[in-house]
Chains A and B, each alone.
Chain A
Amino acid sequence: MQIYADNAATTKMSEAAIEAMTECIRHWWGNPSSLYTIGQKAKEKLEEAREEIAAVINASPREIIFTSGGSEADNQALLTAAINGKRQGKTHIISSAFEHHAILHTLNKLKKNGFEITLLPVHENGIVRTDELEAAIREDTCLVTIMTANNEIGTIQPIAEIGEICQKHGVLFHTDAVQAVGHLPIDVKAQQIDMLSASAHKFHGPKGVGFLYARKGIILQNLIEGGAQERGKRAGTENLPGILATAAALKEAAAHMEKNAAHMTAIRDYLIQGLSEIPHSALNGDALKRLPGNVNFSFEGIEGEGILLLLDQKGISASSGSACTSGALDPSHVLLAIGRIHDVAHGSLRLSIGEDITKEEADYIIRSVKEVVAHLRSFSPVWRDLTEGKKEFILK
């Protein structure tokens, strides 16, 4: 059995997206900036895609800037808020401890340039508290940036409430919605979002394409200078095949969102129930306020990389927050942020299922994970110490 359960890393392109991309390469290869017919046809396609994408998040087309992906959109949003804020003497930014590195590393850079950063705790359930957010807002706060849903543990943040608080205090609100767009309903107006980042390959679109939504009135700062593409805010000839495929993928995802979410949530909860039977294990993040496709567990006494490689042998592709899988010395900052200590964070497993997952596949995953965990524990000196009472279990 082959089961791809790493959809938070990337998704397979949908047939509609592949078709839109190849059609573009074959027929709409003109430069959208050219004034003759071939160019203008390409321009027309580009603007159609922009309209379709904007409609999905209730934005207006002019508020969408295409980028090379979620990371670029995150960088541009933060730089925009920082430069515009500094002009008004505002150099304080609020974020959370478990943001994506595209946010955290950009914040680090801003910190070195004189900005003050407050990282809100995300607590054991992996959700920021709005009272703590509101208390952190100061006179000189120029931006609040909180992700819509976490990429590792899938926890969903109270975006509409945060939007309301930011609106009340006159602070810009950006959200990295890379894991959410195409999977959760998003309404930038109702949720009072000022800026939002998205990435196409997380919703069955192509890699190397994303977009930044910036509410009308926000003057974007360029990361890439050059021609007048994207209203002068992102230079470079547009990646039209990628953009058209993005629109096709998102349209499809939005049309089936409710049905997909209901199916995936049911399988997700079935997986959580099944894996909970493994002794001394724990679900990471809130059990209910999480992405429909996200399951993330810690297993005591073992290390994550072994779990992944053994699951791969069984045809299951998954991911882990263990240090060994990334080449870093510390395990996932997300798991540490929700209070998992190193020993337990190393033994984590993330399954991010797709829309086409079946119950039989879920049964196979549960069976396989149980086997793999038992195998690795059978020769783990840590597990021996735990079971012989020489060490106390952390996960009861």
Chain B
Amino acid sequence: MALYSDKVMDHFLQPRNLGVIEDADGVGEVGNAKCGDIMKMYLKIDDDIITDVKFETFGCASAIASSSMATELIKGQRVEEAMQLTNKAVAEALDGLPAYKMHCSVLAEEAIRAALEDYQKKQEQA
């Protein structure tokens, strides 16, 4: 059996939504280099809808695939909806992750939430 599902390999080899949004409405970064995983999410939000999302990730293949899948899942969603994203949904969409890699999907969920919270904070301040 291969280490990863075809879906994980696909998102690792051809990550979706890779990059940076210079004028992002929300940015979230989680993880640390010591543990070997850092994810950074950039959101563009128009009228409460996530119109664009980009990511950068330092980490293993499942961390890169989890970030990629998470961006696909929330693109086009309302902020409220995206807030409900769970790590389980990310892992399931990838056709599963090895048990010891589940933390990668948790990190993806946290990165999305951090970016959304950053957006909400900016909204309140505005």
Residues of A bordering B, CB below 8 Å: 301-306, 309-310, 313, 322-325, 327, 329, 331, 341-343, 346, 379-384
| Contacting pair A382 B61 (CB below 8 A) | no
> CA of A313 to CA of B14 in the docked complex: distance in angstroms?
13
Residues of B within 8 A of A323 (CB): 35-36
Asked whether B57 is an interface residue with its Cβ less than 8 Å from the other chain, the reply is yes
Residues of B within 8 A of A322 (CB): 36, 60
Residues of A within 8 A of B55 (CB): 379
- Within the complex, which residue of B35, B56, B98 is in contact with A381, where a contact is CB–CB below 8 Å? B56
Taking A342-B35, A384-B56 as known contacts, 11 extra A-B pairs with beta carbons closer than 8 A to each other, sorted by chain A number, are A322-B36, A322-B60, A324-B59, A324-B63, A324-B101, A342-B33, A343-B34, A379-B55, A380-B56, A380-B57, A381-B40
Residue in chain A with minimal CB distance to B13: A313
28 A-B contacts (beta carbon < 8 Å)? A303-B36, A303-B60, A306-B12, A306-B64, A310-B13, A323-B35, A324-B36, A324-B62, A324-B63, A324-B101, A327-B98, A327-B100, A331-B36, A341-B34, A342-B34, A343-B34, A346-B33, A346-B36, A379-B15, A379-B55, A379-B56, A380-B57, A381-B40, A381-B56, A381-B58, A383-B58, A384-B20, A384-B56
Residues of B bordering A, CB below 8 Å: 9, 12-13, 15, 18-20, 29, 33-40, 55-64, 98, 100-101
- For B12, B33, B40, the residue with the greatest tally of chain A CB atoms inside 10 Å of its CB is B33
> CA of A384 to CA of B18 in the docked complex: distance in angstroms?
14
Residue in chain A with minimal CB distance to B20: A384
- Tell me, rounded to whole Å, the shortest Cβ–Cβ distance linking B38 to chain A: 5
- For A303, A310, A346, A383, the residue with the greatest tally of chain B CB atoms inside 10 Å of its CB is A303
Residues of A within 8 A of B39 (CB): 381
| Contacting pair B12 A309 (CB below 8 A) | yes
Residues of B within 8 A of A303 (CB): 36-37, 58-60, 63
Question: Taking chain B's interface residues, is the majority helix, strand, or loop, or is none over half, making it mixed?
Answer: mixed
A-B contact count (CB 8 A): 69
> CA of A185 to CA of B19 in the docked complex: distance in angstroms?
52
- Tell me, rounded to whole Å, the shortest Cβ–Cβ distance linking B4 to chain A: 8
> CA of A31 to CA of B18 in the docked complex: distance in angstroms?
63
Residues of A within 8 A of B29 (CB): 381
> CA of A334 to CA of B62 in the docked complex: distance in angstroms?
24
- Tell me, rounded to whole Å, the shortest Cβ–Cβ distance linking A325 to chain B: 8
- Tell me, rounded to whole Å, the shortest Cβ–Cβ distance linking B47 to chain A: 28
> CA of A324 to CA of B55 in the docked complex: distance in angstroms?
20
| Contacting pair B61 A305 (CB below 8 A) | yes
Residues of A within 8 A of B60 (CB): 303-306, 322, 324-325
> CA of A380 to CA of B19 in the docked complex: distance in angstroms?
9
| Contacting pair B19 A379 (CB below 8 A) | yes
| Contacting pair A379 B36 (CB below 8 A) | no
Residues of B within 8 A of A325 (CB): 60
Residues of A within 8 A of B18 (CB): 379
Residues of B within 8 A of A381 (CB): 29, 38-40, 56-58
- For A301, A342, A346, the residue with the greatest tally of chain B CB atoms inside 10 Å of its CB is A346
> CA of A381 to CA of B38 in the docked complex: distance in angstroms?
7
> CA of A384 to CA of B39 in the docked complex: distance in angstroms?
12
> CA of A173 to CA of B115 in the docked complex: distance in angstroms?
58
Residues of B within 8 A of A379 (CB): 15, 18-19, 55-57, 64
Residue in chain A with minimal CB distance to B29: A381
